[in-house]
Homo-oligomer: A and B are copies of this chain.
Amino acid sequence: MDIQKVVAELKEDKGGRIILMVADGLGGLPLQPGGPTELEAAKTPNLDRLASRGVCGLMTPIKPGITPGSGPGHLGLFGYDPLKYVIGRGVLEATGIGFAVGPDDIAIRCNFCTLDGEGRIIDRRAGRIPTEESAALVQKLKAIRIPGVEVFVEPVKEHRFVVVFRAPGLGANVADTDPQQVGVPPLDPQAHDEPSQRTAQIARQFITEARKIIGQHPKANGLTMRGFSKRPDLPSYREAYGLKAAAIAVYPMYKGLASLVGMDLLGQPSTLDEEIDVLEKAWKETDYDFFFVHFKYTDSRGEDGDFDAKVKMIEQFDSVIPRVEALRPDVLIVTGDHSTPAKLKSHSWHPVPTLLVADTCRPDGATEFSERACLHGGLGHFEAMYLMPLALAHAGRLAKFGA
């Protein structure tokens, strides 16, 4: 029996309200031996106060040594075993542009490419054509009609776009058409099981129709398809935890990930302050049990390799904490979906500093929120998929296991 099944059986439809504050890519590394991490360098009087009141720990997003992408990182954070539930590339790409992938949808990442007179690929990315030019082509592709299936075509960035086929019973087991090399034509979409035969046929029709529309474009006269995928069959937050859950995020990717687990999306905030405005209003005016608030820029500045800028983003994140504390949530959690050390300019596998504040927590003597303090925290070292059970337990929302 896995932990999520146990939790689904023990969940109670009553108890405290939970706020999960996620600073994306929060964990860091010292630039110099003996130096502070970004979080340790930042002045975070509010997070330090929370650490004193609560219990800290280090959270491993997937397994030790494994660096998560945003998809698995958030799945783990949301309590879904990221090794069990895989979000396909097509679905992730669609989710990332805010497309609500439904249960009957096959989502596909597509690239415009350049074909020669013989139909062989000469540029797999169509010269990375500008986003506006690509979007205009996508606009034309929206005209494609295939009987018995709804077709969606959405621009992403440069040569990338997303196609979604919506019809009951379609399989996603179709191989990529991108041959990953030039000098050969795109591959024919090949199905690897019975329910995917129709998907492959639809894809073939789509490609044929698309070629008629874009065939004369000097660069983007062809296309390849990758990552045929269906939305993973995730139990919703309601099913898994008995929670009526809401997400507050600026970026479509995180809104999309939250909606995959059945969270409602609140507001249209474009800054952290606006996110907290939305939170305050919803806290008072709605009966959501659970709020996920996502802050992007700690990760962005880490990816830039800009240590000081990431420190500033952490300080900005710290500055809104009093507004969140003032709501007096029964459980307040602060963490990240993974580490993004400026030193590495990328996501990393390092465990993520995490704190949990609740009247029911066992404080651990930590007096600051930092990697060092979390190392000795009462939550110990734990895998992300246990964060939600811990949140529910501290909120009084889990019954006893066995008598």
User: Does chain B have a CB within 8 A of A189?
Assistant: no
Cα–Cα distance between A341 and B336 once the two chains are bound (Å): 30
Cα–Cα distance between A220 and B346 once the two chains are bound (Å): 66
- Contact of A375 with B375 in the complex, beta carbons under 8 Å: no
Count the copies: 2
Distance of A356 from chain B, by nearest CB (Å): 10
Q: Which residues of B contact A363 (CB under 8 A)?
A: 30, 33-34
Cα–Cα distance between A65 and B395 once the two chains are bound (Å): 10
- Contact of A402 with B82 in the complex, beta carbons under 8 Å: yes
Q: Which residues of B contact A390 (CB under 8 A)?
A: 64-65, 349
- Contact of A66 with B371 in the complex, beta carbons under 8 Å: no
**Which one of A63, A67, A83, A403 has the highest number of Cβ atoms from chain B below 10 Å of its Cβ?**
A403
Of the four ranges (under 10, 10 to 19, 20 to 34, 35 or more), the interface on chain A belongs to 35 or more
Distance of A335 from chain B, by nearest CB (Å): 14
Distance of A344 from chain B, by nearest CB (Å): 7
Distance of A387 from chain B, by nearest CB (Å): 8
Q: Which residues of B contact A246 (CB under 8 A)?
A: none
Q: Which residues of B contact A380 (CB under 8 A)?
A: 58, 351, 380-381
- Contact of A401 with B67 in the complex, beta carbons under 8 Å: yes
Cα–Cα distance between A316 and B347 once the two chains are bound (Å): 39
Decide yes or no: A389 and B1 within 8 Å by CB, A33-B363, A86-B402, A375-B378 being known contacts.
Answer: no
Q: Mark A325-362, 1 if CB is under 8 A from B, else 0.
A: 00000000000000000011011111100000000101
Q: Mark A28-51, 1 if CB is under 8 A from B, else 0.
A: 011001100100000000000000
Q: Mark A60-85, 1 if CB is under 8 A from B, else 0.
A: 00111111111111000000001110
User: Does chain B have a CB within 8 A of A214?
Assistant: no
Q: Which residues of B contact A73 (CB under 8 A)?
A: 402
Q: Which residues of B contact A7 (CB under 8 A)?
A: 65-66
Cα–Cα distance between A375 and B371 once the two chains are bound (Å): 16
- Contact of A66 with B381 in the complex, beta carbons under 8 Å: no
Distance of A212 from chain B, by nearest CB (Å): 32
- Contact of A92 with B386 in the complex, beta carbons under 8 Å: no
Q: Which residues of B contact A68 (CB under 8 A)?
A: 400-402
Q: Which residues of B contact A371 (CB under 8 A)?
A: 362
- Contact of B360 with A82 in the complex, beta carbons under 8 Å: no
Q: Which residues of B contact A293 (CB under 8 A)?
A: none
